[in-house]
Amino acid sequence: MNILLTVVLVVQVLSALAVIGLVLVQHGKGADMGAAFGSGTSGSLFGASGSANFLSRSTAVLATLFFVSTLMLAYFGVPRASAPSGSVLQNLPAQAAAPAAAASAGVPAASVPASGAGLIPSK
């Protein structure tokens, strides 16, 4: 598991650096804006609207790889507890189980705090 986490982290860092490099190398669509208003010639207002070239496609692939590796790091980075058995209410701590037990025992709702503010420890 530790080796997999390291591999995913390396993939994420390399894909992030590659995306940064590819974005800096690409020619922006806004650069042709001045050409559309008289300082040069341009086919349309925001540049050519043809198919994507190699740089933009590779940027999209690397961005997808970056997002997938980010999701994998988030999934593997969360520590997992052992699976509890039984109901959720059976696994509550003693302080939190008291109002739930009182409610199931038929104690009036007025004596049980509705907000759970009584469960906050005081200093």
Least confident of 5-19, 50-64, 71-85: 71-85
Pick the more confident residue, 15 or 87. Answer: 15
Indicate the domain borders of the chain.
2-24+36-77
pTM exceeds 0.85, yes or no: no
Amino acid 91: pLDDT: 63
Distance of alpha carbon 101 from alpha carbon 96, whole angstroms: 9
For 66-92, what is the mean pLDDT?
Answer: 79
> How many residues does the structure list for the chain?
123
Q: What angle do CA 72, 75, 79 make, to 5 degrees?
A: 140
DSSP 39: I
